[in-house]
Amino acid sequence: MKKYLLITLLAVLGLPGPVQAQLQKGTKYLGATVSFNGRYIPGNGSNPKSGASEFTIDPSLQAGIFFKNNVMAGIGIGSSNYVSKSWYKDGATIQEFRNSQNTFSLSPFIRHYKTLHPKWAIFLNTSAELAFLNMRSKGIEYKDVTNGFSAGIRVVPGITYWITPRFAIESDISLLSLESGYKDFQKTKSIYFRSGLSSSINSYFSVRASWYIQKTQ
């Protein structure tokens, strides 16, 4: 009697079962986000003419598969690229300076989900962060290239909101992240351990578009 009452209740109110359809074993996952910003400063008319521009783009892509209910394994690739250029014209000669900083990262991850509501879930993302760092500068008669790498572990919680059963927007709560690692760049070896709370960045949530693709049965 008790059991029937409970089951009926659950059915009537449409509460989620123990595993949400999107988080079942076998579901494939794809997530992507991008942000960019730039600045252009034209010459000011007086001689010598000069100008500058800069551009930053940060794309990232994640793919994964649920190997257990509520647990996903995946891999993320991303980059952060900054290019700046400045020039000035003195008579017929143009002098140009270029500078770029690039980070290419590869991050295998495991993500544990907990459903809160048919449309909401929270997750904990644990990832290994491997990155290749590169800096280039180029002037009139010089060219300089510096390479480096970093490796670390990062744990960050996040939220998912399903707009449709397949499509969701999600956000890592960087404010609560923990990370630790090793970096070798510009002839400096460094070890870091940091929590999001101690960073100077304001509390922000960067948003990612994601798709939960299930096998058609």
Partner 1 sequence: MKNILFITCLLVLGSTRFSIAQLEGKQFLSGSAGINFNNSNPASLSATHNYSYNFDISLGKFKSETRAVGWRISNSLGGRKMIYNIYNGSQVEQYEHNGISRFGLGLGRFWHFYKHFNAKMGIYGGPEAGLSFLNTKEYSIENNPESLIERHIQKIQLSLGLSAGLYYAFSEKWWVTASLAFANPVSVDYSFNRVRNVMTDEKNKGNDLTYRFSPVFNFPSVGLGLRYFYNR
Provide the binding-site residues for partner 1, judged by CB under 8 A.
Answer: 2, 5-6, 9, 13, 33-42, 44-45, 171, 202-208
Cβ atoms of 35 and 5 within 8 Å: the answer is no
Q: Which two tokens stand for residue 167?
A: 């499509």
Between 7 and 145, whose beta carbon lies closer to partner 1? 7
Between 199 and 203, whose beta carbon lies closer to partner 1? 203
Pairing type for strands 93-117 and 178-185 reads unpaired
Closest distance to partner 1 from the beta carbon of 1 (Å): 9
Between 36 and 192, whose beta carbon lies closer to partner 1? 36
Residue type at position 109:
F
Q: Which two tokens stand for residue 42?
A: 């034209």
Cα dihedral 73, 24, 28, 126, rounded to 10, equals -20
Closest distance to partner 1 from the beta carbon of 42 (Å): 6
Closest distance to partner 1 from the beta carbon of 186 (Å): 26
Between 90 and 144, whose beta carbon lies closer to partner 1? 90
Residue type at position 119:
K
Residue with tokens 């280039």: 136
Closest CA to 105 of 89, 129, 83, 125: 129
Closest distance to partner 1 from the beta carbon of 36 (Å): 5
Beta bridge partners of 107: 76
Closest distance to partner 1 from the beta carbon of 13 (Å): 6
Between 5 and 92, whose beta carbon lies closer to partner 1? 5
